[in-house]
Amino acid sequence: MKRRDFIKSSALLAISATAGNVAKASSMAQETALTQPEAQSTLIASAPMLQNYAASSIGITFAVSDMANGYVLIGQRPDLSDARKVMCGGFRTTEISDRVIQVRVTGLKPATKYFYKIGADRISYKNGYNMKILGNEEDPTIRHFTTAGPDAHSHFCVINDTHARWESFSRVIEKTIELAPSCVVWNGDASNAEETVEDQTRIFLNPEINRRDYAAYIPYLFCPGNHDSRGMANRHLERVWMFRQPEERASRDWDLGRNFAVRMGKIAMIGLDTAEGTNHLATRRIKPTRN
């Protein structure tokens, strides 16, 4: 479906592929609502955002207010007693940032519920030989999400052309949380023309809405629109909206780090990370197979 068709018809399309979603949606929404309000902290400066939903991986991004080295604790037990610690920065040396921490968690099981929380070490950095950890901060809130896969629940929402218009964005987000889909596809033009990483952080990690945890339980996929590559900062949106790890994708497409081909139950979703060129989300219903 062309993105312009979404613009003409509605700011929000909620697509339910199976019956019985409403009851599950409302119970999940209530579960999510119980976490409000978010714990306030000094180093960790936003709720986590679940980015690039997939069957075996997830991206977890959050804002920090000072130089930090961040991580995620993730496991299948609600108390995180089986948790593993995943540092930011992929397979390279761990990242140090005073703005955004990005943790890519791989090796997950499909259609599986995971619990997680975020943390960061406060870093004093003077130069490559003079760097030390000053302290640690963990957000005490344990959150959860469920990975994609053939056995996942077939239910997703699409939002687009939000353009940092907070009043309408807030209403869209409230409706999305109420519907509690397995994931949300943000189909472009979250931005206008962003010149700074701070502006990008405000759009994705600290939007001016009540539900700052809007993407902490419901994973998001992103198909950048033309505005999402306009402005100096938006030329490298990956500083806030992470790329997937190279090993998750064909090498030909490494530079399009948010491409996705995700199976969600009976639905296959394909998204192109082509921004100024065009952005498309295609979906196809998978015919049931006989086993």
Least distance from Fe ion to the Cβ atom of residue 226, Å: 7
Smallest separation (angstroms) from Fe ion to the CB of 162: 9
Among 205, 176, 166, CA closest to 59: 205
Minimum distance from residue 163 beta carbon to Fe ion (Å): 6
Query: Of 168-227, which residues contact Fe ion (CB under 5 A)?
Result: 189
In the chain, the DSSP E strands lie at 12-16, 49-51, 58-63, 68-75, 84-87, 100-105, 113-127, 130-138, 143-146, 155-159, 183-186, 220-222, 260-264, 267-271, 281-285
Smallest separation (angstroms) from Fe ion to the CB of 189: 3
Q: Which residue is nearest to Fe ion (CB)?
A: 189
Cβ distance to Fe ion smaller for residue 79 or 167 = 167
- The H or E element containing residue 28 is helix 21-33
**Residue 230 C-beta: closest distance to Fe ion, Å:** 11
Among positions 95, 137, 138, 161, the unique one binding Fe ion when judged by CB under 5 A: 161
276 binds Fe ion (CB under 5 A): no
Q: Pick the closer one to Fe ion by CB: 38 or 161.
A: 161
Task: Report the alpha-carbon distance of residue 133 to residue 111 in Å, rounded.
Answer: 37
Stretch that binds Fe ion, among 131-139, 142-150, 155-163, 264-272 (CB under 5 A): 155-163
Nearest CA-CA partner of 279 in 107, 159, 136: 159
